[in-house]
Amino acid sequence: MRKLMVTTLIFFLAFFCIQFNEVEARGYGWGYKKNSNNEIPDVGKYSEILREHGAYYVDDSGEKTLYLTFDNGYEQGYTDEILDVLKKEKVPATFFVTGHYVNSATDLIKRMVDEGHIIGNHSYHHPDFTTVNKEVMKRELETLEQAVSKASNQKDIKYVRPPKGMFNQQTLEWANELGYIHVFWSIAIIDWNTNAQKGWQYAYDQVMKQVHPGAIILLHAVSEDNAKALEKIIQDLKKEGYTFKSLDDFVIKKKMPQPIYGY
């Protein structure tokens, strides 16, 4: 009897490990090899996967153009300051927001749209898309879009940034079918921990060290460092010959053989 129980346990553990590995294999976590040579970072196999599904992480045209994006899951009191800087410097941005953010910071959503910025979809509840089915992903995206439409004059959303940067070929395909364009990033910094801010100089140095032509920059609006560094970052990058444009400018100009999803 004991031998049977041991055999059964071994079988169960083996089955669990196989299932666990299959779940792990289903999703990719977005990442890239950083460089400090003002060059586009290497994303390895991800580049071809994104190309196949009309997704983006960089503008590879070679032009000294930058695309500023923010992820907003909740409000920490710095977004008004960020918007003030963007307005002063005449810089467009895309804010990828969650349902919690829309419901708790409705006035800021309205201000973003009224001042010419784009609202992107970061899902309603922030789930890992690679662990849910298509219907759940569809509901997450559509519910967020409806909330944004109710809170502002932006009635539809074209761009999605997957929660936690998790994706696979299936979620990219689903997004295409639902009319969305995946937008990742080529510059990011460790800025999301509100209890471990390192000062504005850190945020400034990290962005300036990684900057390259065509960069899609990801910053978190909960970071005090980012809010304090943003004006100097923008002004100094302009001095270096960079211009800031919106994701719409990039996607519309991008000529690809496959359909441009979301349009």
| Residue 71 bears catalytic tag | yes
Chain position carrying tokens 């079918």: 177
Nearest CA-CA partner of 215 in 35, 90, 49, 95: 35
Cα separation values, 240 from 40, 66, 131, 181, 237, Å:
17, 12, 43, 30, 5
Cα separation values, 146 from 51, 150, 155, 161, Å:
29, 6, 8, 17
Residue of 117, 191, 220, 225 marked active site: 220
Contact assessment for residue 141 and residue 123, using Cβ atoms and an 8 Å cutoff: yes
Question: Which alpha helices (DSSP H) does the chain contain, by range?
Answer: 2-26, 46-52, 79-89, 99-104, 106-114, 134-151, 169-177, 200-210, 224-239, 247-253
Structure tokens, 37 = 């040579």
The 10 Å CB-count burial string (b at 16+, else e) for 21-34 is eeeeeebbebebee
Residue of 71, 122, 182, 212 marked active site: 71
Max CA pair span of the chain: 78
Please, which residues bridge with residue 67 across strands? 216
| Residue 182 bears catalytic tag | no
Contacts of 77 by beta carbon, 8 Å cutoff, 6+ apart: none
Q: Which residues are catalytic?
A: 71, 220
